[in-house]
Chain A
Amino acid sequence: MKLVTSKQALVECLGIVNKAVSSRSSIQVLSGVLIDARPDGIVMSATDMEISIKAPLAGRVDQPGSLVVPARIASEIARSLPTGEVTLEQRAGETQVEIRAGESLFDLHSLPAVDFPQLPAPVGDGFTVGKAAFLETVDRVAPSASRDETRPVLTGVLIHFNKTDVRMVATDSYRLSVKQTPIESSVENTLQAIVPARTLLELSRIASGVADDTITIVPTENQMLFQVGGIYLISRLIDGQFPNYRQLIPETFDYEVAVDHDEVLEAVRRVGLLAQKNAPLRLRFADNTLAVSAESQDVGKAHEAMPIQYSGDALEIGFNPEFLEAGIAAVKEPTVYLRFISPLRPGLVKGASDDFLYLVMPIRLSD
């Protein structure tokens, strides 16, 4: 195999596929990147069995061939190379691959491409969605998914596509995000799947660096393929029953308060610094004032007040500061609406319309 590319292309391509490299596998080849140089182009692939990524590498193929290189070292080498042309060459019968750029020469151990897993190749009808709207929805919803692997369903995002919009739902059982986004989509009828949040965040990372305006999606029974700008991301889907989120959202709330988005976000951020070691962030609504406060033993306390329109009974409710902050940050509007029932019932964070809802469980306050 012999191919000629550039340092920049190599670094970028490895940067894309690296996120799918398996960090912990008893199978050595999975910690590598497959380089497949064919007369019609070069493709790099990696997989950790949950996500597989295939990305084109710009360059010239002098001699077709394929091999697997260790992902970590290859990336380190690529970054260290001088700017300009890079040659990758494996001579017939050798296991070493030579990386040359300017005066630099590296000899890297490689594994045969035949040892690399066959990447899933979902077939069937795909559809396209507008990239910007899709990614925006991902970025606002996916962070609410759980990282706890013992409940696989909660590590995923429930996605519901239809012709005119897409709805995403994620919850880690402490908070819940729902976003409904009008989207140009070529999907026939409707489609629903639980996609690992990690996949969507990876997709968002990859797609934001690509010029294309659309993402092509090919769903199959247990995989989903996303294609954007020549890059393929194939993800396992999560089997199982997603919690019935509609049941979790109270139909009515007793209190609604409108707050300036930036003002409340900054206050929550600042005061939240003093809510450490699981200490709650307190919100107190009374006499047209919202007071945000926190106190951690051995650290100190903070208090901040802002004017609001509120004349009901005094209400004090506690939240995990990070969760509340994430919810407010996900509302991209000048005014945030906070809705409550009581200090022990979940609170709702939303914008002016109902297309984004963020439900968050309160923390019981001890006094």
Chain B
Amino acid sequence: MRGLFTDITGQEMAVGLLTRALEQGASHAYLFSGPPGVGKTEAALAFAAGLACPEGGCGVCATCRRVKEGLHPDIEIVAPEGNFIRKEEITEINLHAVYRPYEAKAKVYIFLEADSFNIEAANAFLKTLEEPPGHVHFILVTDRPERLLPTIASRCQLVTFSPVAARAIAADLSGRLGVKEREAELIARVAGGNLSYARELATSDTVRRQRDVLLDLARDLPRAGLLDTEVALDDAMASVESREAEVVPEIKAELKRALEWAGDARTKKWLEKRSEDKIKRQQRRLRTQGLQTLTHVFAGWYRDLALVSAGAEDAVLNRDRLSELQTVVRPGGLRAYTDAVEAVQKAEERLRYNVDARLAVGDMFRSIKEALA
């Protein structure tokens, strides 16, 4: 099994559990749960490779490689069409699940955003989950496990993924991407356990710029007038949406290749629909990620100010901004900064429940200004 989970950083518990499952016999259903950006999907693909591989998960054979690249016909990746995983999709799966795998040892269905089953789909899925065919495994991946139907969740073995430790992130960045040690440590702190965000900070100018913009907004917000606050809100929302266009060219190029290979007009239509869904899904994902980044950066900034005001400069996250923190900090502001952090956390909570994002962020801005008035 060496090599199967090498790309998964800092998830010893989860990897240990999955490795044992491959050695001792796997359950039919797993729920991979944990915050975004910590490697759940990669782990799901690696685990699926382990289930499908004739060698029990060598990590290097043609089966393992194709599973990890999403090219294996016995491993199906299911993601929401539009906002939901729908009943038609589940009916199709129920119908095909009974057939033996085509070439692999097992058939695996990986549900991304598994919290987005609509109720009809969930009920249809429950039937299969209660009596899964012997050769079938389901992996449900979610960062919002509380939204799953309890009857579904309780039939899955839970595999919990944690925020990745800063040390592990730093090691990953320097080992895999060749980031210099100091820089890697800084990014690791800033990323707050989100490995994929850390990797993006290390590799993408856009993402670094986004962070800078948000930090500047957090810094200037307490002193901003009413009009400036509106502008700041526009800027913040623009930063959230700034990456939505990123995914389009790649998915469009993928569609173009697929269309060249497609048989008839109906298939082409189907591919186009799938591609549109994929764009929407990725954009939704990036938007959620953008909002998470926003609250994460804001909370980090005010927490840092609280730390500086308490004289604990060593503990700040945004070390590259230490001198700025020291310039703007208000002596004795600990309580106010803690309130500001709480305001961010409250917004974070509201955003998890899909309230209007602009409204939630606007309220957050007001609360921060009140706290720091």
Given contacts A24-B267, A117-B102, contact A31 B261 (CB under 8 A): yes
Q: Could you say which of B93-101, B112-120, B154-162, B353-361 contacts chain A?
A: B93-101
A244 at the interface (CB under 8 A from B): no
Q: Give CA–CA (A361, B63) in the complex, Å.
A: 48
Q: Give CA–CA (A30, B70) in the complex, Å.
A: 13
The interface centre, meaning the residue of A21, A24, A236, A239 with most chain B CB atoms within 10 A of its CB, is A24
Within 8 A of A (CB), among B240-293: 257-258, 260-264, 267, 270, 274
The interface centre, meaning the residue of B62, B70, B102, B260 with most chain A CB atoms within 10 A of its CB, is B102
Q: Is the CB of A152 within 8 A of B98?
A: yes
A247 at the interface (CB under 8 A from B): no
Given contacts A117-B73, A118-B62, contact A28 B257 (CB under 8 A): yes
Q: Is the CB of A27 within 8 A of B98?
A: no
Q: Could you say which of A34-42, A70-78, A300-308 contacts chain B?
A: A70-78
Given contacts A26-B274, A239-B99, contact A21 B263 (CB under 8 A): yes
B104 to chain A, nearest CB (A): 9
Q: Is the CB of B263 within 8 A of A71?
A: yes
Q: Which residue of B lies closest to A68 (CB)?
A: B261
Q: Is the CB of B260 within 8 A of A114?
A: no
Q: Is the CB of B263 within 8 A of A72?
A: yes
A330 to chain B, nearest CB (A): 29
Across-interface contacts of A152 in B (CB, < 8 A): 95, 98
Across-interface contacts of B270 in A (CB, < 8 A): 24
A32 at the interface (CB under 8 A from B): yes
Q: Give CA–CA (A222, B103) in the complex, Å.
A: 11
B238 at the interface (CB under 8 A from A): no
Question: Could you say which of A23, A47, A109, A239 contacts B263, with CB atoms under 8 Å apart?
Answer: A23
B99 to chain A, nearest CB (A): 6
Q: Give CA–CA (A277, B95) in the complex, Å.
A: 30
Q: Is the CB of B102 within 8 A of A120?
A: yes
Q: Is the CB of A120 within 8 A of B263?
A: no
Given contacts A24-B270, A49-B102, A115-B66, contact A31 B263 (CB under 8 A): yes
A355 to chain B, nearest CB (A): 33
- What string of 1s and 0s marks CB contacts (under 8 Å) between A1-43 and chain B? 0000000000000000000010111111111100000000000
Q: Which residue of B lies closest to A24 (CB)?
A: B267
- What string of 1s and 0s marks CB contacts (under 8 Å) between A124-167 and chain B? 00000000000000000000000001101000000000000000
The interface centre, meaning the residue of B69, B257, B263, B274 with most chain A CB atoms within 10 A of its CB, is B263
Q: Which residue of B lies closest to A73 (CB)?
A: B260
Question: Could you say which of A24, A49, A71 contacts B73, with CB atoms under 8 Å apart?
Answer: A49
Q: Is the CB of B262 within 8 A of A31?
A: yes
Within 8 A of B (CB), among A84-111: 109
Q: Is the CB of A28 within 8 A of B62?
A: no
Within 8 A of A (CB), among B76-114: 76-77, 95, 98-100, 102-103
B102 to chain A, nearest CB (A): 5
Q: Is the CB of A23 within 8 A of B267?
A: yes
Across-interface contacts of A31 in B (CB, < 8 A): 261-263, 267
A267 to chain B, nearest CB (A): 37
Given contacts A26-B274, A117-B102, contact A149 B261 (CB under 8 A): no
Q: Is the CB of A32 within 8 A of B100?
A: no
Q: Is the CB of A118 within 8 A of B103?
A: yes
Within 8 A of B (CB), among A179-231: 222
Q: Give CA–CA (A32, B95) in the complex, Å.
A: 25
Q: Give CA–CA (A70, B268) in the complex, Å.
A: 14
B71 at the interface (CB under 8 A from A): yes
Across-interface contacts of A239 in B (CB, < 8 A): 98-100
Across-interface contacts of B274 in A (CB, < 8 A): 26
B88 to chain A, nearest CB (A): 12
Q: Which residue of B lies closest to A32 (CB)?
A: B261
Q: Is the CB of B102 within 8 A of A72?
A: no
Across-interface contacts of B98 in A (CB, < 8 A): 152, 239
Q: Give CA–CA (A115, B258) in the complex, Å.
A: 15
Across-interface contacts of A118 in B (CB, < 8 A): 62-63, 103
Q: Give CA–CA (A31, B186) in the complex, Å.
A: 47
B167 to chain A, nearest CB (A): 37
Q: Give CA–CA (A148, B76) in the complex, Å.
A: 23
Q: Give CA–CA (A1, B63) in the complex, Å.
A: 24
Q: Is the CB of A28 within 8 A of B102?
A: no
Q: Which residue of B lies closest to A52 (CB)?
A: B102
B316 to chain A, nearest CB (A): 46
Q: Is the CB of B261 within 8 A of A72?
A: yes
Across-interface contacts of A29 in B (CB, < 8 A): 71
Across-interface contacts of A25 in B (CB, < 8 A): 73
Given contacts A24-B270, A27-B73, contact A236 B260 (CB under 8 A): no
Across-interface contacts of B70 in A (CB, < 8 A): 27
Across-interface contacts of A70 in B (CB, < 8 A): 260-261
Across-interface contacts of B100 in A (CB, < 8 A): 222, 236, 239
- What string of 1s and 0s marks CB contacts (under 8 Å) between B25-52 and chain A? 0000000000000000000000000000
- What string of 1s and 0s marks CB contacts (under 8 Å) between A288-317 and chain B? 000000000000000000000000000000
Query: A27-B73, A32-B261 are known contacts; what are 8 more A-B pairs with Cβ within 8 Å?
Result: A23-B264, A26-B76, A27-B72, A28-B258, A31-B261, A70-B260, A118-B63, A150-B95
Q: Which residues of B contact A (CB under 8 A)?
A: 62-63, 65-66, 69-73, 76-77, 95, 98-100, 102-103, 257-258, 260-264, 267, 270, 274
The 19 listed contacts between A and B (C-beta, < 8 Å) are A23-B264, A23-B267, A27-B71, A27-B72, A28-B257, A28-B261, A31-B261, A31-B267, A47-B73, A49-B102, A70-B261, A115-B66, A117-B73, A117-B103, A120-B103, A222-B100, A239-B98, A239-B99, A239-B100
Q: Which residues of A contact B (CB under 8 A)?
A: 21, 23-32, 47, 49, 70-73, 109, 114-115, 117-120, 149-150, 152, 222, 236, 239
Which 4 pairs, one residue from A and one from B, show the smallest C-beta to C-beta distance? A70-B261, A31-B261, A222-B100, A118-B103
